[in-house]
Each structure stands twice: as structure tokens, then as C-alpha cells.
Amino acid sequence: MNAEQQEQAEREQARRVLPPAAYSDPAPGRTEARRRHLMSEIDRQTRSRSSRSVLRPRRRMVLVLGAAMAAGATVVVLGLGSGTTGAPNVPPASAASVQVLERAALAASATSQTKVLDGQYVYVKTVGHTSVLSENEAGQMELLREDEGMEQWTSVDGSERTLQRKAGKDKLLPEGPANLNSPTYNFLASLPTDPHALLKLIRDDAEKNHGAGSGSTTGPDQEAFVTIGDLLRNGVTPSATTAALYRAAALIPGVDVAPDAVDAAGRRGIAVARVHDGERKEWIFDTSTARLLGERTVLLKDNAWGKAGTVVTSVALVSSGIVTEAGQTP
């Protein structure tokens, strides 16, 4: 099967699992133009980059969702930001994943949104779990499952501390300026809505702690994918920003689809995913509406965290909205 036939097969796969949407598909040639631009960038960066050692990822002791959830997620144009490139031999985002992400972007753009005012709060409720390796009294490592269900109220303008409710207990999260790891609605509204500019900003930030020479266990491409996923799960995000985040994800190398996935609330959908170090990070979408349901991390091979196929982290977004006071629900 040649490249053109393979791409057509991927598109047909996406159409089978994601029915036609109520909004229009991108104009003919739009996706192909993006792919041509990507490949030209890859070629340019490949010619210009110098050789460098490959960093081997190291296992973290706790699998977490990311700072954005704690405070409140297709091929990247390699070398965006600091001039470095991603891992070699990583293919561009598959045609199927680009199509799913474009449909999600169109759905976000078509969503009407109530006017958001300073002084209000973004409310989000999630259910799910994460896996933790912990040393027991016998000195052996034990795999535990921790509940990640919670409600959270984040000040739209950052003027008040975030209220988080877990297992019936409330706590105020530490204060700090809004950023990619701890966003407010107003911060998200200030982000670029051009996908290339948005990805450059996100990947530049990822490069600081996950680029060459950092000793990162993740790498900037995977970290950019994780960061975008965290931002998308923020609860309520400006529709233009949401659409741009989906389109930026379609520029990250190695992004593909998993045709059948189930979120932590038991809802079945199609997933846009990226594999890293034997794990597949999935964003799960409703097949009818292209709405983001949640995300999960699935093991692709046996390791200390479980057998291949184990879902080590899974979180579903079950409710969100804008409220006038912390503690209220939509």
C-alpha cells in the first residue's frame, strides 16, 4: 500500500467511527496544505540540526494528570521555538487524527458561549483515578490506585484563590500568576489563536524543562501534547482558544487515533493519542458531537505499573460551567 492509499484508508477509518458533523469539514486541500508545510519544515530542520545524544526517559514514581488539573490535553513542526528537533523517525500526525481534531475544532468554534465576567468562577467536575507506586512496610513497592474525582472553582480573572473539593473536603490552592500549568479563563483568552503561534508558545515552554540536556523523562513533543490536554480539560475555555488548541495538537509528531476508548465515566468514544515510553496517552471524544469526554493513559507493555492494556490513569470531565461564587454549581 503506497502513502496515498494509506492516507485514504486512515481517513475512511476516521469517518467510520466519527459520523458526519453538523458543521462543515475543512475546505478541500486545507489539511494537505498543512501537511506539506510540516514536511518542508521537517526537511529544513533535519538539514540544519547538529547531532546530539538521545536521552532515555526515566520512570516517575507517580503518574499524574499535570499541573493544570491540579490547579484548576498531527505532527509538530519539529524545531519550533528553540531550533531543536523532536525525536527522529517520528511520523507526522496521521490523517485520521488530523480529521478528528479538525472536527473537534469546528465543534468548538460553533459552540455558543455565555459571556464571562471578571469576578466569576470556572467550575469543573471530574471523576477518575491515577496510579501510584508506594513503598509498603515490608520495603516492597506496591501499586495503589488513588481517586482523582473532584470539583474545582477557578477565578476567571485570577483575583481569588482556587477552591478544590475532594472526598468532601475543601482546600484553597496556593496563589500564583496564571500560566500554562495554572491557567485562568482570562489567561486562556489571551493565548494566540493561530495554531502555529500557539504551539510555538507551548513548545518553547516545554523545551525549557524537557529539551535536550534537561534530563527530561518526557521530551518537548510529549510534554506539549500533555500540556494541551491539560488546557483542554480546564472546564470552560474560550471557543477560539479551544479550536486553536485542537489544531495545534494536529501539528505534533506521532499523534494518531485509537478507534475505541472508554472514559472514567464509562462513556465510549474515539481517542486521539500519542505513544511515549510504552504508554499511550489518549484524549477521548464523543463520536457524535466531537466533544472532549476525558483522557486516559494505557500501558502498551508489561512493567511495574501493570500488564499491557492496563489503564493506569483515567479522568473524565462530567460537568463544567460558569458560576458567580466558589462552591456553586451550574
- Quickly state the pLDDT bin for 200 (edges 50, 70, 90): very high
Report the 3 state secondary structure along the chain: CCHHHHHHHHHHHHHHHCCCCCCCCCCCCHHHHHHHHHHHHHHHHHHHCCCCCCCCCCCCCECCCCHHHHCCCCECCCCCCCCCCCCCCCCCCCHHHHHHHHHHHHHHHCCCCCCCCCCCEEEEEEEEEEEEEEECCCCCEEEEEEECCEEEEEECCCCCCCEEEECCEEEECCCCCCECCECCHHHHHCCCCCHHHHHHHHHHHHHHHHCCCCCCCCCHHHHHHHHHHHHHCCCCCCHHHHHHHHHHHCECCCEEEEEEEECCCCCEEEEEEEEECCEEEEEEECCCCCCEEEEEEEECCCECCECCCCEEEEEEEEEEEEECCCCCCC
Average pLDDT over the chain reads 80
Q: How far apart are CA 130 and CA 126, in angstroms?
A: 12
Cell numbers 483515567 label which residue?
314
Lowest mean pLDDT, pick from 4-18, 60-74, 260-274, 280-294: 60-74
pLDDT of 57 reads: 27
Q: What percentage of the chain has pLDDT greater than the value 90?
A: 61
Tens-digit pLDDT profile for residues 215-231? 777 889 999 999 999 99
pLDDT of 51 reads: 27
Residues in the chain: 330
Whether 328 shows a pLDDT value over 80: the answer reads yes
User: Per-residue pLDDT averaged across 83-91, rounded?
Assistant: 59
User: Per-residue pLDDT averaged across 86-101, rounded?
Assistant: 88
User: Per-residue pLDDT averaged across 263-287, rounded?
Assistant: 97
Q: What percentage of the chain has pLDDT greater than the value 70?
A: 73
Whether 111 shows a pLDDT value over 50: the answer reads yes
pLDDT of 7 reads: 53
Whether 3 shows a pLDDT value over 70: the answer reads no
pLDDT of 213 reads: 72
More confident residue, 63 or 154: 154
pLDDT of 10 reads: 54
Q: Where are the domains of the chain?
A: 3-22+59-323
pLDDT of 140 reads: 80
Tens-digit pLDDT profile for residues 124-136? 999 999 998 887 8
Whether 80 shows a pLDDT value over 50: the answer reads no
pLDDT of 264 reads: 97
Q: How far apart are CA 118 and CA 120, in angstroms?
A: 6
User: Per-residue pLDDT averaged across 178-199, rounded?
Assistant: 97
